[in-house]
Structure 1
């Protein structure tokens, strides 16, 4: 199980997190930071986030990586997820590029990282998660899935990125709701799939954030563990 051993979150980073556009509550953010900092310290590997948006959770992962001498990678196409498109509940007109008429969260992400003082500790990949995952080869201390919440997108994120979590590393999934009245069920289903695979065990959580830890198994492993050097 993950036992957080981490440096306290700097007040300036917490302020940048709370000032950024996004949907993660502070208590969940602090739990994410603790798990990321612990995983980075133990494994000395990068962390990776699926779903950058405006960088609210990225600052926490970048701070955890900075303290451990590693880096946070964040992947997003920056055009907004399904529920953030015009006419949907989470659409924010302020994020629309007046030249293209499309959502573009890149400038907001860059400002968030700048004001957090963490630009040098985060690597942003602008692209679709499934495409980037096919190119990725390095092991990771943590994967945080908070991208598209359709069944297809969530399943692709899990199957594309879970294999890259190193043994002892953490798989974090956001917006996991057991009751459909509280939110979409796709994150809950991939959380169940990860547990059913036998390669992840419960490692805590907070609110809708679930934390799972990668373990070595003797039986067939649908997500073969990555080790340093693979």
Structure 2
């Protein structure tokens, strides 16, 4: 996440945190860069971020794909495991009390989630199935007046994958969200 997008996410998080509508929820944390921006925002509004990730990497992070990083592969299991990296990021940033890791599959966690959400940040799997599962399972939990942030929204198909852009269009066209701000590939919407 580029700094300008992170700053925009932080600013939206501050407004959401201070609104009192509910906690911030992040879908897809990888090693914790976006959690730092959201955690600082949550702390300013006396709330927390629940960061949901199975920490096994998205499709595009797996071996043979462009975004594979061998450093996050556990040598004992041969599988990706970003949780230790994520936890170190939180410790280094002093945000362990503001960012709560929720380790699990996003649809499973969503099934049992009952707390209204002040801001939902979707940046999990970018394939069609996982992106739409995150959207369909989590957006109904956003409080009235709450915010939805989607990362990697590329209107031009040559710039990146389509699912985040499709979620963005659907949110505006069909689900009663309006765009609040855009920075790079980050879109911040509000439920009206």
**TM-score normalised by L of structure 1:** 0.82
Shift of the alpha carbon at 1:45?
2.0
Asked whether the equivalents of residues 44 and 68 of structure 1 are also in contact (C-alpha less than 8 Å), the reply is no
Asked whether the equivalents of residues 52 and 74 of structure 1 are also in contact (C-alpha less than 8 Å), the reply is yes
* Alignment RMSD: 0.8
- CA offsets, 1:44-92, max 9 Å, x none? 5210000010000001111111111111000001001111111110000
Alignment partner of 2:188: what SS?
Answer: strand
Which of structures 1 and 2 has the bigger CA Rg?
A: 1
The answer to whether 1:93 aligns with 2:80 is: no
Alignment partner of 1:49: what SS?
Answer: strand
Match of 2:131 in 1: 154
Asked whether the equivalents of residues 48 and 100 of structure 2 are also in contact (C-alpha less than 8 Å), the reply is yes
Match of 2:79 in 1: 102
In the alignment of these two chains, the number of paired residues is: 192
Asked whether the equivalents of residues 147 and 191 of structure 2 are also in contact (C-alpha less than 8 Å), the reply is yes
- 138, 141, 145: which is aligned to 2:122? 145
The answer to whether 1:204 aligns with 2:181 is: yes
Match of 1:13 in 2: none
Match of 2:16 in 1: 39
CA distance in 1, matches of 2:144, 2:84: 35
CA distance in 2, matches of 1:186, 1:98: 32
Which aligned runs of 4 or more in structure 1 are off by greater than 4 angstroms? none
CA distance in 1, matches of 2:179, 2:20: 19
- 157, 161, 164: which is aligned to 1:187? 164
Structure 2 regions of 5+ residues with no counterpart?
Answer: none
